[in-house]
């Protein structure tokens, strides 16, 4: 049973790891009106694995390279490429009854993504145009975006406005299907210097999507063809003069038309140490409610699927169930001569159904853990 289903479930995760929020032109810091002084070349390796008790693990190895350079003090070009590959079995509870055939159609479980952006800097702001492309055997995603920032004369307030259009093409390996998904997003943000040690950012974003949201690798899955969501992101960075360290707090509220609400809180603290070392411990708390059409595990039938009303929308995807998660992380970086920087980061994330603060969790789901390590090397020039 395992081998066939595990390869296909792996694909689900592969598809899951498509570009997504990857290379968004994020709302810029306080000095959005100045072109970067230096260019940068960076490389980063990611090793990811997840697990559930007594279930095989999935592994992802990813490599990304970024090059950014200022041009004539007024422009900046930023290019990022990513290559990732997925191996191993899915840890997912529901993969046990994956009965779909067609595993032989699978191509390599790799994803290639490219992201390009060009920014023009003006005395009072900046304008960024970006495009991104991501490809795997069953999923192609294309996106274009435009974002502008305007700073107040004091440079203490920056207002950011952005928009993007994303078109995805889905061609599952297991069924004869070609479908699309189109997503329009808009962002409004304000960055404000509060004091010489505090800076705050509030981003409001709205996304409207239409198309194929169903998971083709799940035999019992039927989702609406519309999904709109709204997020409010608040960030606050504070500098401690006593320790010369900085805390970085963020809170995000998310609500979508699947009926999911979520809260994300994250806290990081960056402490510079002697010899150009920096230490960054972090914690992240997450909690979500279930989608309206999520069908919980029925202990009577488990591990067989619960009874489902096939008239409406339904999913057994645990990612659309109610749960909470806690991540603990640590990042260490060291700067060497000639602007070389080496960094290593480790995160351990635990997902538990009973940590859902905004709804009752699905007690039929097994605990789920993720471990990821990143190793980076970069040089400014």
Partner 1 sequence: MKKILIRVVAAFGCLTSITTMSGCATVQPWEKQNLAKPEMTFEGDKLDTGYTEHIYSSKEAASGGSGVGGGGCGCN
Partner 2 sequence: MIIRNRKIIRGFLLTMMLCVGASSMALAVEPGDKAPGFELPGQQGNVTLAEAAGSVVYVDFWASWCGPCRQSFPWMNQLQEKYRASGLKIIAVNVDAKSEDAKKFLAQNPAGFTVAFDPKGVTPSSYGVKGMPTSFLVGRDGKVIFRHLGFNAADKDKIENDIKAALEASK
Site for partner 1 in 289-308 (CB under 8 A): 291
Residue 221's contacts (CB-CB under 8 Å, 6 or more residues apart) are 214, 215, 314, 315, 316, 317
For 3: left if phi > 0, alpha if psi spans -120 to 50, otherwise beta; the answer is alpha
Contact flag: residue 380 with partner 1 (CB under 8 A): no
Q: CB of residue 152 vs partner 2: minimum separation in angstroms?
A: 5
Contact flag: residue 16 with partner 1 (CB under 8 A): yes
Q: Count Cα neighbours of 362 within 13 Å in the Cβ-side half-sphere.
A: 27
Q: CB of residue 244 vs partner 2: minimum separation in angstroms?
A: 12
Spatial separation of the C-alpha atoms in residues 234 and 211, rounded to whole Å: 30
Choose the binding region for partner 1 from 10-18, 98-106, 119-127, 301-309 (rule: CB under 8 A): 10-18
With CB under 5 to 8 Å by kind, the binding choice for 58 among partner 1, partner 2, none is none
Residue located via tokens 């239409």: 210
The answer to whether the beta carbons of residues 270 and 245 sit under 8 Å apart is: yes
Contact flag: residue 208 with partner 1 (CB under 8 A): no
Choose the binding region for partner 1 from 97-105, 138-146, 306-314, 359-367 (rule: CB under 8 A): 138-146
Contact flag: residue 257 with partner 1 (CB under 8 A): yes
Sketch the per residue contact string, 209 through 228, with partner 1: x for CB under 8 A, - otherwise.
x---x-x------------x
Residue 213's contacts (CB-CB under 8 Å, 6 or more residues apart) are 181, 223, 224, 225, 227
With CB under 5 to 8 Å by kind, the binding choice for 52 among partner 2, partner 1, none is none
Q: Exactly one of 7, 297, 320, 356 binds partner 1 (CB under 8 A); which one? A: 320
Contact flag: residue 85 with partner 1 (CB under 8 A): no
Residue located via tokens 């709204």: 230
Contact flag: residue 87 with partner 1 (CB under 8 A): no
How many other CB atoms sit within 10 Å of the CB of residue 348? 13
Q: CB of residue 300 vs partner 1: minimum separation in angstroms?
A: 26
Q: CB of residue 200 vs partner 2: minimum separation in angstroms?
A: 14
DSSP 270-288: EEEEGGGEEEEEEEEEEEE
Which H or E run includes 13?
helix 2-16
DSSP helix/strand/coil, 366? coil
The answer to whether the beta carbons of residues 289 and 359 sit under 8 Å apart is: yes
With CB under 5 to 8 Å by kind, the binding choice for 123 among partner 1, partner 2, none is partner 2
CA dihedral 93, 108, 215, 305 (to 10 degrees): -30
Q: CB of residue 163 vs partner 2: minimum separation in angstroms?
A: 21
DSSP helix/strand/coil, 85? strand
Residues that bind partner 2 (CB under 8 A): 34-35, 37-38, 70, 72-74, 123, 152-157
Residue among 163 and 306 whose Cβ is closer to partner 1: 163
With CB under 5 to 8 Å by kind, the binding choice for 124 among partner 2, partner 1, none is none
How many other CB atoms sit within 10 Å of the CB of residue 141? 22
Contact flag: residue 167 with partner 1 (CB under 8 A): yes
With CB under 5 to 8 Å by kind, the binding choice for 295 among partner 1, partner 2, none is none
Scan residues 340-369 and list those touching partner 1 (CB under 8 A).
343, 345, 347, 349, 351
Spatial separation of the C-alpha atoms in residues 246 and 198, rounded to whole Å: 10
For 228: left if phi > 0, alpha if psi spans -120 to 50, otherwise beta; the answer is beta
With CB under 5 to 8 Å by kind, the binding choice for 202 among partner 1, partner 2, none is partner 1
With CB under 5 to 8 Å by kind, the binding choice for 25 among partner 1, partner 2, none is partner 1
How many other CB atoms sit within 10 Å of the CB of residue 47? 14
Contact flag: residue 170 with partner 1 (CB under 8 A): yes
Q: Exactly one of 144, 175, 283, 328 binds partner 1 (CB under 8 A); which one? A: 144
């Amino acid at each position: 049973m395992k081998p066939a289903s595990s390869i296909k479930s792996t694909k689900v995760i592969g598809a899951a790891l498509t570009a997504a929020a990857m290379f968004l032109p994020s709302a810029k810091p306080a000095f959005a009106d100045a072109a970067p002084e230096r260019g940068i070349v960076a490389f980063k390796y990611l090793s990811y694995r997840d697990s559930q008790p007594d279930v095989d693990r999935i592994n992802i190895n990813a490599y990304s390279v970024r090059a950014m350079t200022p041009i004539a003090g007024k422009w900046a070009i930023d290019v990022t490429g990513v290559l990732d590959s997925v191996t191993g079995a899915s840890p997912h509870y529901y993969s046990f009854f994956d009965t779909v055939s067609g595993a032989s159609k699978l191509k390599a479980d790799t994803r290639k993504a490219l992201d390009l952006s060009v920014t023009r800097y003006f005395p009072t702001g900046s304008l960024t145009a970006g495009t991104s492309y991501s490809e795997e055997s069953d999923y192609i995603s294309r996106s274009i975006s435009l974002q502008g920032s305007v700073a107040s004369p004091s440079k203490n307030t920056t207002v950011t406005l952005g928009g993007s259009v994303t078109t995805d093409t889905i061609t599952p390996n297991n069924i004869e299907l070609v479908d699309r998904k189109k997503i329009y997003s808009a962002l409004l943000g304000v960055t404000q210097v509060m004091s010489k040690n505090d800076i705050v950012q509030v981003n409001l974003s709205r996304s409207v999507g239409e198309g194929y949201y169903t998971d083709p690798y799940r035999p019992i899955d039927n989702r609406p063809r519309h999904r709109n969501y709204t997020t409010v992101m608040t960030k606050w960075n504070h500098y401690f003069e006593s320790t010369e360290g900085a805390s970085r707090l963020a809170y995000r509220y998310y609500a979508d038309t699947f009926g999911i609400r979520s809260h994300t809180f994250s806290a990081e603290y960056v402490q510079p140490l002697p010899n150009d070392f920096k230490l960054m411990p972090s914690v992240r708390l997450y909690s979500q409610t279930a989608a309206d059409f999520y069908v919980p595990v029925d202990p009577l039938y488990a591990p067989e699927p619960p009874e489902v009303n096939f008239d409406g929308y339904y999913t057994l995807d645990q990612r659309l169930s109610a749960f909470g998660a806690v991540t603990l992380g640590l990042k260490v970086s060291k700067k060497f001569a000639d602007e070389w920087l080496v960094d290593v980061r480790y995160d351990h994330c635990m997902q538990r159904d009973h940590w859902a603060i905004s709804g009752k969790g699905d007690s039929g789901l097994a605990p789920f853990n993720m471990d990821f390590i990143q190793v980076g090397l970069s040089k400014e020039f």
